[in-house]
Amino acid sequence: MMKRRDFVAGVGLGGLATGLAGCAQSESTANCDSGGDGQTWKWNMVTSWPPLFPGLGTGADYLARSIEAATGGRIKVKVYAAGELVPALEVFDAVASGAAQLGHTGPYYWKGKSAATQLFGAVPFGMNALEQSAWMNFGGGHELYQKLYARFNLVPFIAGHSGVQMGGWFNREINSIDDIKGLKMRIPGLGGEVFKRAGGVPVNRPGGEIFTALQTGDIDATEWVGPGNDLSFGFYKAARYYYYPGWHEPNAALECIINKDTFNELPDDLQTLVRIACDSTSLKMLAEYTYMNPRDLKTLVEKHGVELREFPADVMTRLKEISLEMLDEMAAADSDFGEIYGSYKNFFSTVKPWHNISEEAYYRAR
């Protein structure tokens, strides 16, 4: 097993500085133990993903192994896939109640608890993974995240990024906004609300149920993540058209939620190492998706004959208009949503002009 100091060194200079903060008075990182009393913790992690599912499931497993490695085995984590201990969409309640110590899931699933949780997951036409990470770490997002979840007896950390997703699988062409009317689509979160306002019928389904729903006609379309996951699920067998870009999820941030009482039992050094493990998982997952997606898109198109389509410009324009109107309305109606969206919107207005002349300009040039 990797020693804790080796793991901390491996997460980079930023992670190293954070990880050693609790050991500032020690002569070496080896002396930074939980009180030196040999106490250990055994945690159960419940997830919203199929077992070892590429990206999401492997990310949860990587997080569990990283926590064990970073803490030198002081915290041991057993991972339960969706349905093995609790259903996929009951992770929040299980961890909040203490039935499980931590969970790996998506913030957009919990709008029934607070609509504002969705802002930490994915915002239609919003920030990408790099921008969202900057907001969370330096723009005040993490503090708002902690504040909101604390009322549910949870301590949350971002623990994964999908990057820009695909627009989804459809059984009919989308040539105008009218083609969305009456369309039943698996699309959760804020994207689902936009889809509803555009005339569609959003349906929420956990990952393991999507293929059957699409194949049987229970839904007409679905989004999930991207080629790296969609190939594994076999969506190409049930839908003909594969649309891009993922306007609804320019990035999906995944989360590690920890029971607050459980987290507070830990000494400061182990709390810090858990957070470093979450940061490492975020980077690892984004890298895995960046590796899987181009490889598996090629397989979908060249081997399985999937028809790759771009959403028409007028459809994208209308969806963006609806999205901005909806977000402003939700901010006005809900104080939590308003506070968090205000911070998100302000940071986005700052970072977007910079990326117009940096990332986007470079993409066009190359």
By DSSP bridging, strand 253-259 and strand 201-203 are unpaired
Q: Looking at the 3D structure of the chain, how many domains does it have? A: 1
* Alpha-carbon distance values, 246 to 30, 77, 180, 205, 224 (Å): 45, 33, 15, 18, 10
Q: Give residue 27's pLDDT.
A: 29
Q: How far apart are CA 192 and CA 180, in angstroms?
A: 12
What is the span of the domain harbouring residue 13? 4-163+251-290
Taken as a whole, the chain contains a residue count of 366
Give the whole-angstrom CA distance, residue 273 versus residue 31.
14
Q: Tell me whether residue 176 is in a domain.
A: no
Question: Would 122 be classed as within a structural domain?
Answer: yes
Could you report the per-residue pLDDT of 160-205, keeping only the tens digit for each?
999 999 999 999 999 999 999 999 999 999 999 999 999 999 998 8
361 lies in some domain: no
Q: Which residues contact 113 (CB under 8 A, 6 or more apart)?
A: 92, 152
Cα separation, 342 vs 361, in Å, equals: 27
Give the whole-angstrom CA distance, residue 102 versus residue 175. 44
Average pLDDT, the chain: 91
pTM above 0.85, yes or no: yes
Residue 1 pLDDT: 37
> Closest Cα partner for 74 from 361, 297, 270, 293?
270
**Contacts (Cβ under 8 Å, ≥6 apart) of 183:** 170, 172, 199, 200, 201, 220, 221
Query: What are the structure tokens assigned to 335, written together?
Result: 């104080």
Report the alpha-carbon distance of residue 325 to residue 273 in Å, rounded: 41
pLDDT digits (tens, 9 = 90+) for 276-297: 999 999 999 999 999 999 999 9
**CATH at 10:** 3.40.190.170
Beta bridge partners of 258: 102, 155
Residue 242 lies in a domain: no
CB count in 10 Å sphere of residue 296: 18
Is residue 255 assigned to a domain? yes
Is residue 230 in a domain? no
Backbone angles phi, psi at 79, to 5 degrees: -95, 130
Spans of the chain, pLDDT less than 50: 1-36
What's the CA gap between 137 and 282, in Å, rounded?
Answer: 12
